[in-house]
Structure 1
Amino acid sequence: MFSTQLRAILATLAAFGIFGTSYAGECDSVGSISIGSQAANVLDDGSVVLRAKMNINIDGSARAYHLKNRAGGALIHLCNAGEVFLPDGSRYQGSESNETCTGKFMTDVAAIGAAGWNDPTVGAVRWFGVLGQGRARVGGNTVEGVVPVLQADGFFVSPTALIDPHFPPEDQRRYVEPLTVPAGVIRNSTSLTARGVVVGTFGVAIDPVKNVAVPFIVGDTGPRVGEGTPALARQVAGLAIDPGVEYSHRYDGVVDTRRVIWVFFGGNGMSPPFTQSSVADAARAAFDAWGGETRLAHCVARSDIPD
């Protein structure tokens, strides 16, 4: 984390009137792309920059999901991990509302689980925050990943898109650990893939209110840019990483306005293992190669980065 250094750079650049002159190109856009419903600028080296929120992605944690939810020690409700398919052909996201989350979803999951998870007369769940195996045909829909995989302690295995293939799919160590590893989420988008922004590559996130630059690895995919692991969110907020984070602090670091600047470098990705120290070192090296604090200061100072 480099808040003092970044503040000094911003002050120096402003004092000498450097913004908008010889260094302007360091964050000048040479084009724009769409990432789903989000817009982003493309810089001259192919890196991608936009403003977005900082929501929390806990997938990958050994304590993420439990059938008993908070009572079982889970950090996040199971409704965030699946989509229910019913025999009448209807389907719904478990997290579509608080009422659905704690009511209908849990009732349907109990019935579907009691029927073996793949009974077409009862329904099925397409798991995504939880590792699911097998498939079922329900209400005219083919549903993938329907049988959730449990760890020995009763928590579900929670996967991430970035994996360490040295471990089998059922082993939680295969996935990026979100409580200790600063990692961001990208959308599966051809506009990003074409620029080399894929899981395993690097970026940097900064909330201009805090001015703490945190290099990160792209560790997972989701519907949009603007999600990070608790480790990333906490550092961006100026907080220390907490591997033992409690339920009441799981969302520390959330920014619910689109003010966080996300930069994705693209290029070469990282090979496992994805430990806290190895990722921090590799992400910092990628950040420095991209231009580091000085270049990021130009991005922070711009008002034309899309949100």
Structure 2
Amino acid sequence: MAYYRHQLPQPTDKIFITDGGLETVLLFQQGWDLPDFAAFTLLDRPLGTEALESYFSTYGKLARSYGMGLVLESPTWRANADWGKRQGYGAAELADINRRAIALLETIRTDYSSTHSPIVLSGCIGPRGDGYSPDMMMSAAEAEQYHQDQIDSFRDTTADLVSAMTITYPEEAIGIVRAAQNAQMPVVISFTVETDGRLPNGLSLKEAIHRVDAATNSASAYYMINCAHPIHFDRSIINQGNWVERIRGLRANASMMSHAELDESETLDEGNPRDLGERFYRLKQQLPHLTILGGCCGTNHRHIEAICKACSFVSVR
């Protein structure tokens, strides 16, 4: 059964960590072939499931060691219709892979969760188009229809919520929220931003969140920012008004490079884990409502442990 579907523990004072950059760890550090960053395909490859279990177990151990909660995102960012088709998966196969991805996370929760370290299972949804650029923009109605199947597949598992990562424009976010409402699933929207703190289409975070909330009666449990370094968005969320309290989570890149630079890079920029942890500490001090802290591209367990060390004793106001 889903432990927290009817009452998510993240919107509290407790700090939850996430994993790091799953796809970049698998690709650059472990040498897996991941066309289109489709990590879900490992569930159908020899030793692939073991690699995923080992990866997620690392974060279960970290959360337990530091007494923090943990949000585990399923490796299904690319497990939607268009991207799945590129990997040879039809609708039935994708539904099965989404369900198996949550079952894998269930084993991690069984092994590492505790009263002090609750583990929340999230069905991860990615954009229909490119994660850095809104190259395929849908209306809200189109997005609702497109993402419904994947969300429905998570509804039939022990997933506590669905999280849409690296969303680049509000209409897709609106459609995802409505599809989650149809499935009676809690939902989180995570926008990505460019180096100027704005979405790739030029919209501000404030306007994007306002548009989604206005169209969905504020149905998203909370918002996040992912796939950007703190220097790209800190000025957009510090001292910017009450609307920022809708943002409860950050999954930052290790690199300070822009999306365009990262897209062209053939090597992994791991940044500086200690510096990243310190930046999270300063953000947490100024924005105490930030309770979900983790990594995205280029980050691994070293970055997340640096965040744990830096933020373990941040006072809650």
- Return the TM-score normalized by structure 2: 0.27
Point out the structure with the larger helix share: 2
TM-score, reference length from structure 1: 0.27
Structure 1 or 2: larger strand share?
1
Larger radius of gyration: 1
